[in-house]
Amino acid sequence: MASVTTVLGPRSADALGLILPHEHVLCDLTPLDLRDSAIADTPITLETAHAVAYRPNDHKGNHRLTQRDIAKAELAAFAKAGGGTIFELSTVGIAPDPAGLRDLSAATGVAIVAGAGFYTAPFVAPEFRAHDVGFLADFIESQIRVGCAGSDVKAGLIGEVGCSWPLVDFERRSLAASAIAHRRTGVSINVHPGRHPQAPHEILDILEANGAAPAGVAISHIDRTYFDYPAMAALAKRGCWLEFDFFGIETSNYWMGVADLPTDWMRLRYIRQAISDGWGDRLLLSHDICTRSRLAAYGGHGYAHLPANVPGLMRDRGFSAAEIAMLMCDNPRRFVCGA
């Protein structure tokens, strides 16, 4: 069995258990317009919890996942619900904390795989944005071979690679560099696409042109990029992984634009159809938690939602035990192993 690079070192792939393939545990995704403003943090209380969850980007402080004691309790709840591993995809630009992840993994027993590479251009410091593809590829390779953010904690994945729609020049270089680092190391890539149905196709074109096969690439946020099954199936035909990573988000209001966000039931209907059509083995499921309002400590569903609640929904929809294991354990394990 292959081994996977976790924040605590190599781990046998057959010891990963149930995997959340796209989460954030320690990061800061504060929107740029709020970051330097004088507006005070919104305290999250019983009185404010709904308002913050409904418009998560409008409340300063909500995007700062920096409270290690809370993170520890949230990971412990995930483990208690049967969770084994989290892929923590906080890339350069959103304040990744690999040394903090190592401490949390050691304290909770949850295996954590850290992500290399760069988030969307507006979040990345100007000095990084000026570099050419060669420099960026060497940087990502060093995150995988040497360590991230000045630590000796090595990345086991590339991503989430941040992309806008339309792509800006830095993001084209970041994608090319990710493909080159993938080719050199064999480490799989997870991409955050811009909010447009063509965005994942343009991203795959760039990755393929730089030598990355779609089988080594996951496209995140399918739930807010496509609103009809044929468009999802057309993307799947290219051979990449499709990630439904808004599990737990049941609001009708998408805070980043006009979109018919699905509920968990609707996600499962798409997934059921994908399995029937023969591409269930290319699906990944996660929550993409990146705000305090989605943590159990602040009234949210927490990392335990997928292991604790979703298998029951799946059984009600006729998913077999083998299909549930494929979606929650086998697929993300195969993805991180590059298979």
Residue 3's SS3 state is strand
Instruction: Report strand pairing: 64-65 vs 83-88.
Output: unpaired
Q: Which two tokens stand for residue 294?
A: 């989605």
Smaller CB separation from Zn ion, 246 or 319: 246
Q: Evaluate whether 337 touches 4 at the Cβ level (below 8 Å).
A: yes
Smaller CB separation from Zn ion, 98 or 319: 98
Is residue 97 part of the contact set for Zn ion (CB under 5 A)? Answer: no
Smaller CB separation from Zn ion, 23 or 202: 23
Site stretch for Zn ion (CB under 5 A), options 44-52, 152-160, 177-185, 258-266: 152-160
* Residue 203: burial class (beta carbons within 10 Å; 0-12, 13-18, 19+): buried
Chain position whose Cβ is nearest to Zn ion: 288
Provide, for the chain, the percentages of residues in helix, strand and coil under a 3-state DSSP scheme, each rounded to the nearest 5: 45, 15, 40
Smaller CB separation from Zn ion, 97 or 160: 160
To the nearest whole angstrom, how small is the minimum distance from the Cβ of residue 159 to Zn ion?
A: 9
To the nearest whole angstrom, how small is the minimum distance from the Cβ of residue 150 to Zn ion?
A: 22
Neighbours of 76 (CB within 10 A): 18
Who contacts 289 (Cβ-Cβ below 8 Å, separation ≥6)?
23, 24, 25, 65, 248, 295, 300, 302, 303
Q: Which amino acid is present at 19?
A: I
Q: How far apart are the C-alpha atoms of 147 and 140, rounded to whole Å? A: 10
**∠ at Cα 91 (189, 213), nearest 5°?**
10
To the nearest whole angstrom, how small is the minimum distance from the Cβ of residue 94 to Zn ion?
A: 8
Q: How many residues bind Zn ion (CB under 5 A)?
A: 2
Site stretch for Zn ion (CB under 5 A), options 29-37, 78-86, 154-162, 295-303: 154-162
To the nearest whole angstrom, how small is the minimum distance from the Cβ of residue 319 to Zn ion?
A: 25
Q: Evaluate whether 288 touches 24 at the Cβ level (below 8 Å).
A: yes
Residue numbers 278-297 binding Zn ion by CB under 5 A: 288
Smaller CB separation from Zn ion, 28 or 160: 160
Smaller CB separation from Zn ion, 160 or 264: 160
Q: How far apart are the C-alpha atoms of 120 and 194, rounded to whole Å? A: 9
To the nearest whole angstrom, how small is the minimum distance from the Cβ of residue 217 to Zn ion?
A: 15
Give me the residue label for tokens 């317009």.
Answer: 33
To the nearest whole angstrom, how small is the minimum distance from the Cβ of residue 24 to Zn ion?
A: 6
Mutual orientation of helices 169-185 and 133-145 as an angle, nearest 10°?
Answer: 40
Site stretch for Zn ion (CB under 5 A), options 27-35, 139-147, 156-164, 302-310: 156-164
To the nearest whole angstrom, how small is the minimum distance from the Cβ of residue 112 to Zn ion?
A: 14
Smaller CB separation from Zn ion, 295 or 319: 295
Contact residues: Zn ion, CB under 5 A: 160, 288
